[in-house]
Amino acid sequence: MSGVRIASLVPSATEIVAALGHAESIVARSHECDWPPGAAAAPACTRARIDASRPSGAIHEEVGKLLAAALSLYDLDTDILRAARPTHIVTQDQCDVCAVGLGEVRAAAAEFLEAPVEIVSLAPMRLDDIWEDIARVGNALAVDAAPVCDGLRARLGAISERARGLPPKRVVTVEWTDPPMSAGNWVPELVAAAGGIDALGAAGANAPVVDVAQVQAADPDAIVLMPCGYDLPRTEDDGRALLANAAWAGLRAARAGAVYATDGNAFFNRPGPRLVESAEILAEILHPAHFDFGHQGTGWARLET
């Protein structure tokens, strides 16, 4: 499809577009789009209103205030968007915290873009939704997405097949640490594929706030931290702060040294092709004698307690 010019406003969309062979068609991106290598070459047309370097509790409080006031967490630079002259905008309306709102994108396209633009908005809640989103982006770009989707399903199925028959491990996944939230959406499906049982999260549901008593009652074999937007070093820092609480440090998994930090920003919280790598990370954590994809040290690390 010649003449395609894409503005990708969410990192998962950038990764989907690249997997479909259109990385070089991206002419504008979100400030968080950093994969695949080279994605940052396009100008960023969004910026966050919240300082992500602040403590997790302070970020949570500020997000709550902005959402309560019906304010966006992000600014959209319409000058950069207009200069990019996109034919397609790929964004999302699954999470108010993750990107510029769909309504704002539509309004900006109508007001600031001279030529008509096709807006593709993604709203996945489960793995099947993600494969469907990849197919929809492919359809918009006149690309056959079936080989990409089939390949991702096959890789995930191979992990699941290898994990079948292994003793399942009970897992608590933590998508945010202050307040603690258990991961939902597609994460419980990834846990299942890796030979685990998500003890608190529910597939297709939003992340619930949990307390240490619930985690203690769930009695997980492992606790896996994957805070949204945090890389591995930042997650390790938050994990150490969490385990400074005697109640968390006293959990069976913590006493056994089975608390793990992951790069949730690069993997678990991006509903795109690298969710397969996320399942690989979980498989390495839960069944290290049977899986080694080489992610330890870059995608995940065991927390010292």
* Sign of the Cα pseudo-torsion (120, 123, 128, 131, in order): positive
* Sign of the Cα pseudo-torsion (176, 180, 185, 189, in order): positive
CA pair distance 285, 269, nearest whole angstrom: 18
1 has pLDDT over 60: no
Contact indicator for 45, 84 with CB cutoff of 8 Å: yes
Confidence of residue 247 (pLDDT cuts 50, 70, 90): very high
Residue whose tokens read 């494969």: 131
Contact indicator for 202, 210 with CB cutoff of 8 Å: no
Contact indicator for 181, 229 with CB cutoff of 8 Å: no
Q: What is the pLDDT of residue 175?
A: 96
Q: Helix, strand, or coil here: 262?
A: strand
Confidence of residue 68 (pLDDT cuts 50, 70, 90): confident
CA pair distance 59, 52, nearest whole angstrom: 7
pLDDT digits (tens, 9 = 90+) for 208-227: 999 999 999 999 999 999 99
pTM greater than the 0.85 cutoff: yes
**Average confidence score pLDDT of the chain:** 93
Contact indicator for 104, 134 with CB cutoff of 8 Å: no
